[in-house]
A and B are shown apart, each in its own frame.
Chain A
Amino acid sequence: MTLPPQAIDTEQEWVERARDGDRAAFEQIYRAYSGKVYGLCLRLTREASIAEDCTQETFISAWRNLGRFEGRSALGTWLHRIAVNAALARGRKGHLEVVPPPQDEAGEEHEPAMLHDATPPLDVEAAIESLPTGARHVLVLYGIYGYTHDEAANMLGIAVGTCKAQLHRARRLLRERLSA
């Protein structure tokens, strides 16, 4: 998530001013990154209303923690990290209220039934949406947003090996799905 030098200067100014409580500057940050944050949340949660909540939580958490943002990573990466945490927390709360997806003896989630439906999804986005949660999370971070396995694993709180295995699984399922 790189920006041209001029934009980075502007972004740094936004951050500095927002740290001092300037909401207009923080709104500029929101305007610049809301699409990427919402896009990630939507793909992780699969529900627009939940993605909206996660996006709001992300920017509120960012506002409260701007003092801790040291600029070692890009602002977009930092926001994405917060968004992943928000989406995972929401997913966990969701799991506590509904029956979790079935698991086999090895503890792996079964693929959703729609993977085997007669009518295939029409596009890649829909095929990604049909993937099991763990595989989808890794594929979204790695494949769409370009994070490395180390970065994605760290964001998701899983081992790098698990991340690679989930990506392999996601690619296999997606290939099957798209060629159906």
Chain B
Amino acid sequence: MKDELQNGEERDEVLQAVGQLPQSIEPQRDLWPEIASRLDAPVTSRRPGVQMGWTLALAAGLGCMALGALLTVGLMKRADTGAPNTLTAQATAPANSATAAATTPGAADAPQVRQASLGGYAMLGPEYEQARATLMIGLAERLDRLPPLERQKVERNLNEIRRALGELNAALKLAPNDTLLRELLLNTYHDELTLLANVNQIADSIPSRTPS
């Protein structure tokens, strides 16, 4: 506990009691058979660890592409019904990059598409941030159409995802080469896209309320 000396923290009774707890707790059953069976997965058939970064990043990128496509289809459906001010985000994958395209389906001519880049693992590029912010504006309109409980749940989940993204970005600033943090960050972006796609899908399934 080097910090105790540095910070002048006394090891009070509480910390003493906590420190006496055993670090090791054996699982109630032997987990090794299941672990061993999962080691047989194709990805581990070669020497473990080799090129896993590329594999994971590619898988995450492909996942983002699929979700981006889903989101695009959903939003284009919205465009067909004349919904204003919506925007799509899509990701492309050379492993550690993504792009977002902003469209304005309500425009008279063909939708404007603006490419934005994801600035590496740790930080979103400003264009992507702007595109995402615009998407959030459209999202507010769709959220208004959701039942109150569903809306609250979505908003809580979005807040949770944003908090996680902030913490992961902060951690990656300290450890930019941490593979696991990068993986978590990509997964969290994946979660965000999934949530946005789900909101879009649900909102589309609810008839719009038109003023009488």
A residues bordering B, Cβ < 8 Å?
1, 18-21, 23, 26-27, 30-31, 34-36, 38-40, 42, 48, 51-52, 55-56, 59-61, 63-69, 81-82, 85, 88-89, 92-93, 95-96, 99-100, 124-125, 128, 139, 142-146, 148-150, 154, 156-159, 164, 171, 174-175, 178
The 29 sampled A-B contact pairs (Cβ below 8 Å) are A27-B32, A34-B26, A35-B24, A35-B26, A38-B31, A51-B27, A52-B27, A52-B29, A56-B34, A56-B35, A60-B38, A65-B48, A65-B52, A66-B49, A67-B47, A68-B179, A81-B180, A89-B187, A96-B191, A124-B17, A124-B21, A146-B19, A148-B2, A154-B171, A154-B174, A156-B167, A174-B14, A175-B12, A178-B17
Residue B164 at the chain A interface, CB threshold 8 Å: yes
**A100 and B68 alpha carbons, distance in the complex (Å):** 27
Interface 1/0s, chain B 37-58, versus A by CB < 8 A?
0110001100111101000000
**A86 and B132 alpha carbons, distance in the complex (Å):** 28
| A125 with B36: CB separation less than 8 A | no
Count residues on chain B whose CB falls below 8 Å from chain A CBs.
54
Residue B181 at the chain A interface, CB threshold 8 Å: yes
B179 partner residues in chain A, CB cutoff 8 A: 65, 68
Instruction: Give, as a whole number of angstroms, the nearest-CB distance from A43 to chain B.
Output: 8
Instruction: Give, as a whole number of angstroms, the nearest-CB distance from B184 to chain A.
Output: 6
Interface centre among B27, B153, B175 (most CB of A within 10 A): B27
Q: How many A-B residue pairs have CB under 8 A?
A: 154
| B38 with A124: CB separation less than 8 A | no
| B27 with A34: CB separation less than 8 A | yes
| B191 with A92: CB separation less than 8 A | yes
| A23 with B39: CB separation less than 8 A | yes
Q: For B164, give its contact among A18, A20, A63, A92 (CB under 8 Å).
A: A92
Interface centre among B2, B17, B34 (most CB of A within 10 A): B17
**A178 and B27 alpha carbons, distance in the complex (Å):** 27
| A64 with B31: CB separation less than 8 A | no
* Chain B minimum-CB-distance residue to A62: B48
| B18 with A157: CB separation less than 8 A | no
* Chain B minimum-CB-distance residue to A152: B3
Interface 1/0s, chain B 73-95, versus A by CB < 8 A?
00000000000000000000000
CB within 8 Å for A157 and B17 given contacts A56-B34, A67-B47? no
| A20 with B47: CB separation less than 8 A | yes
**A121 and B1 alpha carbons, distance in the complex (Å):** 27
| A125 with B21: CB separation less than 8 A | yes
B21 partner residues in chain A, CB cutoff 8 A: 124-125, 128, 144
Q: For A159, give its contact among B38, B160, B161, B170 (CB under 8 Å).
A: B170
3 tightest Cβ-Cβ pairs between the two chains A and B: A67-B49, A35-B24, A39-B25
Residue B108 at the chain A interface, CB threshold 8 Å: no
Interface 1/0s, chain B 173-191, versus A by CB < 8 A?
0110001110010011001
**A130 and B32 alpha carbons, distance in the complex (Å):** 30
CB within 8 Å for A35 and B25 given contacts A148-B1, A164-B7? yes
Instruction: Give, as a whole number of angstroms, the nearest-CB distance from A123 to chain B.
Output: 9
* Chain B minimum-CB-distance residue to A59: B35
B14 partner residues in chain A, CB cutoff 8 A: 171, 174-175, 178
Residue B210 at the chain A interface, CB threshold 8 Å: no
